Amino acid sequence: MHGILGLALLALPAALPVASPALANAVPAISLSQTTGSSLAVTKVSGAGFRGRESVTIYFDRVVVGAATTDATGELLPATILIPSMAAAGDHVVSVVGTQGDDASVGFLVANPVTGQLIADSFHSRALDSRLRFAVYLPPGYASMTTRYPVVYFLHGLPATPWLYRSRLVFVARNLEMAGQKAIVVVPQSVRPGDSDAEYHDWGPGRDWETAIAIELPRVIDHRYRTIPTRDGRGLIGLSAGGYGAILLGLRHRGVFSALESWSGYFRATDPSGQHTLVFGTARADADASAYSYIPALSHDASNLPTFIAFYVGTADTTFLADNQRFDAALTAARVPHEFDLYPGGHDYALWQTEASAWLQLALQHLATPQSLAMLPLPTGSAGQSSIAMAGKSCRSEGETVTSHVATELEMRDGL
C-alpha cells in the first residue's frame, strides 16, 4: 500500500496551548486576507487582543509557517504566510500562538491543487544505504482503469532541503494537467540532512545518488505502478542543478531514458554558486562528470538509441546562459539532433512557470503514449528488467512493514 502524500514538516505537541488573554475584556482574534485557495497560496494573517510586544508563532494545522511580534497595543500587523505546498484539499486551521499564552485560530479551505492523485512513497536504497523518498503523481482515472502510462522523472535544483521534492511534484503535476497530458510523474528526494548538494553523482558506498535515481528508482516505479516499462516510456527532466542531473544521468543511462530535458541547467558539475566547476581528482572522474564526454556516443549510435535532448534557458540567466550556448554549439558541431531555445527571463520561477507546460508537452511528444494493458505485454522477469536489470545493483524486497511518519505522512516500507 502507498500513503497519500501529506505534510511532514514540523509537528506540534498533541494540543495547542490555551491560555487567558491579556485583558479580561480582550479576546485574541485573527483574520486572513483570504480564507480559501490552493496549496502554495499566499495569504496574510492579522489580529488583535494579544499582549503587547508578544512573540507569536503562526501555524498551518501543525506546521510552522511564520512568526511575528505584536505591537505595543497587542495588535498583530499583517504577516505573510505561504500555505504548505503539500496541503491536502479540504478544511484546515491557521493558528497564532503567543509565548505568553494567547492564541487564536481561523479556518482555511485548500482547493485541490491537481485533479490527479499525489502519493508519498519510499524504498530502501542499497546505493544510499537508507530510504530514498519520492513523490508520485498519478493522472486522473488511474485507479479506475488498466492503462499504462509514460513516466516523467523530475529532478529538482540543489542545494535544497530534504523535502523540496514535494513542492516540485505539485509544480510539475499542475503544469502537466494544464498541458492536457496524462503521465505518471516521479520526483525523488535528492538530498538528505548533511548531504545537500551531491550533484546527482555516485560518491561511494552509501552516497551513490546516480545509482539510486537512475537504476534503483525506475525498477521500483515499474514494479509498483502501471508504467510503460521500456526506455520509450521514461523521460528525465530537471530544473537548474536538476537539469544538469537529467542530462548527465540520461546520457549515461540511455538504455533507461529516451527523452531528456534541462530547464535552466548546466553541463558540468559545479559548486553551489554555479560559478566554479568541481574537480573530482582524476581525469577520468572529471570526464565522467561532464555532459560533453558523451557527445561522441550520441553521434555514433543515434539510430540504435534515439534520444530526444532539449534544453532551455533565460536570456537574463547570467549564471548558466553561456553554458547552454556552448553545449548547443558542441552538439551542433557533432551533428547531434537537439532542441535548444532561449526565453526572456532569468534563473527564476517567472520563466519556469510560464513555459513549464509547453516544455512538458514537448517531452511527452517524444515518449510512448498511454496504452491499454492488453496492448502492452510486460517484459519477462520483474517489471522493467528488460531495460535496466543489467545496470548493476539490485533492490530486492526487505519485507519491512508500513509505519506512520511525522504529521500525516504514511510511507511505503516494503522496499524493492
CB 66 within 8 A of CB 58: yes
pLDDT at residue 242 greater than cutoff 60: yes
Q: What is the DSSP string of 38-98?
A: ETT-EEEEEEESSPTT-EEEEEETTEEEEEEE--TTS-EEEEEEE--TTPPSEEEEEEEEE
CB 158 within 8 A of CB 126: no
Average pLDDT, the chain: 82
Vertex 202 angle, CA 200 and 208, to 5°: 95
At residue 376, the pLDDT reads 54
The cell for 43 is: 495569504
At residue 61, the pLDDT reads 86
The rounded percent of the chain whose pLDDT value lies above 90 is 58
At residue 7, the pLDDT reads 37
Return the CATH fold of 3-111: Immunoglobulin-like (2.60.40)
At residue 400, the pLDDT reads 28
Interatomic CA distance for residues 320 and 300, integer angstroms? 28
CB 403 within 8 A of CB 393: no
Average pLDDT over residues 299-326: 93
Domain 117-391 has CATH 3.40.50.1820: yes
Q: Give which of 268, 267, 269, 249 is closest to 259, Cα–Cα.
A: 249
pLDDT band at 25 (very low <50, low <70, confident <90, very high): low
Q: What is the DSSP string of 209-278?
A: HHHIIIIIHHHHHHHHS-B--SGGGEEEEEETHHHHHHHHHHHHTTTT-SEEEEES--SB-B-TTSSSB-
CB neighbour list of residue 216: distance below 8 Å, 6 or more residues apart: 123, 125, 126, 127, 132, 393, 395, 416
Beta strands in 258-352 (DSSP E): 259-263, 308-314, 339-343
Q: What is the CA radius of gyration of the chain?
A: 23
> Where exactly does CATH 2.60.40.1930 map onto the chain?
3-111
**Three-state secondary-structure class, residue 164:** helix
CB neighbour list of residue 194: distance below 8 Å, 6 or more residues apart: none
pLDDT at residue 397 greater than cutoff 80: no
Q: Residue length, the chain?
A: 416
List pLDDT tens digits, range 337-396: 999 999 999 998 889 989 999 999 999 999 999 998 755 554 443 333 333 433 333 333
> Where exactly does CATH 3.40.50.1820 map onto the chain?
117-391
List pLDDT tens digits, range 107-156: 888 776 789 999 999 999 999 999 999 999 999 999 999 999 999 999 99
Grid cell 515518449 in the structure block, residue? 367
At residue 40, the pLDDT reads 62
